[in-house]
Amino acid sequence: MDKRVCHILYTTKRPEVVFAKGDAMRLWDTNGKEYLDFVGGWAVCALGHSPKVLVDAIQNQAATLINASPAFFNVPMLEFADALCNAIGKDKVFFMSTGAEANESAIKLARKFGQKEKGGAYKIITTLGAFHGRTLATMSATGKPQWEPLFAPKVPGFTHVPLNNIDAMRGAIDAQTCAVMIELIQGEGGVNECTHDYVKALRQLCDENNILLIIDEVQTGIGRTGHLLATELYNVSADIITLGKGIGGGVPLSAMCCNSELDIFEPGDQGGTYTAQPLVMAAGLAVLNAVNTPAFLAHVREMGAYLKQRLQEIGLSNVRGQGLLIAGDIEGRAQDIVQTLFEQGIILNAPNPNSIRFIPPLIVERSHIDAVIDAIRPFV
């Protein structure tokens, strides 16, 4: 093991492997061992590892302008903002580096709305099993019971209710509620899908109570479900949409998007040193242009359907998800299986002891899926 790892602050258990190179669906460690990657940086590497379109965009922009300060407009900022807003049907966007920052910004905007329009309302309702980030506010929003004692006292004002229970959501709303924040498909929670009826009722409930609907598309957005956004899959309009992970294709990029009526921040309310810096804006535009085509999104849907079919064929239970955000259950053995397959050169994720999650780069092909199925089959 490289002795330099001693300088890395311990925050998670990592295997004794150091990655050195990536190309498309594959990674190589410093010993030259090859891995088939079905995690893609946790749903980040939408176009695979070091795709030419992204490398070219970054190299070209790096030779022109890397950072112009968040105090000024820059050309890639305007180009990407225009393309993204037109693609998702929103008027305004604020760019950041991580999904947690995007969700933190959405929380701030919702509370600003509550101050201006609802007499100081500040509470936000989220769902159990959700994951919204690792800042103190987004950890407070996240519905993970095991996080409740961490870093107390948490940020107040968050209520967690069961997913797909509209009565529980209705019962949690009071005069101090300013917003509801949900994932349409909970990724880190184990790929738990909202029902269409629930989402329709939720939109109506928000309208009736003059509260904002924030949809966290950090994991589901930018083609992951086979649609540019999961809101298209559910035919729902969000007041605020947050994006991250795949939007940068591997570089740190996130976004919070809304319409003009929520353009209510005042100078000093929100900001960030790396907001909309040119290098990452160019990367984001390259990823969006590559993903947002009928052929690319059709490929994601086709591969997702094929992956589901193959998982069901080998007997994985409760196969679920949309596009290339898929999970299946192996009671109590998921983490051990993932560890064994990693040693064999296949990278998967177990979000809990009972589930294996499949979030490969969106460029995955049938041959890659077949290789993973063959590896899993002996354990089912």
Residues 41-61 have pLDDT tens digits of: 999 999 999 999 999 999 999
Tokens linked to 76: 């890639």
Residues 141-185 have pLDDT tens digits of: 998 888 888 999 999 999 999 999 999 999 999 999 999 999 999
Helix, strand, coil distribution of the chain in percent, nearest 5 = 40, 20, 40
| CATH code reported for the domain at 3-51+294-379 | 3.90.1150.10
Residue 294 CA to its chain's centroid (Å): 21
Q: Where are the domains of the chain?
A: 3-51+294-379, 53-291
Arithmetic mean of pLDDT, 252-264: 98
pLDDT of residue 186: 97
- Quick check: 73 pLDDT over 90? yes
Query: Locate tokens 């176009």: which residue?
Result: 47
**Model confidence band, residue 2 (pLDDT cutoffs 50, 70, 90):** confident
> Is the CB of residue 109 less than 8 Å from the CB of residue 256?
yes
Calculate the average pLDDT of the chain.
97
DSSP result, 126-151: EETT----SSHHHHHHS--GGGTTTT
Please report which helix (H) or strand (E) contains residue 23, including its range: strand 19-23
Please report which helix (H) or strand (E) contains residue 328, including its range: strand 325-329
pLDDT of residue 140: 95
Residues 83-128 have pLDDT tens digits of: 999 999 999 999 999 999 999 999 999 999 999 999 999 999 999 9
Tokens linked to 166: 């509209």
Q: Phi first, then psi: what are they for 326, rounded to 5°?
A: -130, 145
User: Which one, of 191, 269, 185, lies nearest residue 234 by Cα?
Assistant: 185
pLDDT of residue 194: 98
Residue 88 CA to its chain's centroid (Å): 16
- Answer whether CATH 3.40.50.300 is correct for domain 53-291: no
- Quick check: 361 pLDDT over 80? yes
Q: Phi first, then psi: what are they for 245, rounded to 5°?
A: 45, -100
Q: Which residues lie across from 192 on neighbouring strands? A: 186
**CA quadruple 137, 249, 180, 89: dihedral positive or negative?**
positive
pLDDT of residue 228: 98
Q: Spell out the residues 6+ positions from residue 32 whose beta carbon is closer than 8 angstroms to its own.
A: none
Residues 207-240 have pLDDT tens digits of: 999 999 999 999 999 999 999 999 999 999 999 9
Nearest 10 degrees: CA dihedral of 202, 205, 210, 216?
A: -10
> Is the CB of residue 350 less than 8 Å from the CB of residue 335?
yes
d(CA 356, CA 8): 28
> Is the CB of residue 164 less than 8 Å from the CB of residue 217?
no
d(CA 294, CA 1): 45
Q: How many residues does the chain have?
A: 380
> Is the CB of residue 379 less than 8 Å from the CB of residue 71?
no
pLDDT of residue 196: 98
pLDDT of residue 144: 84
Tokens linked to 156: 């107040």
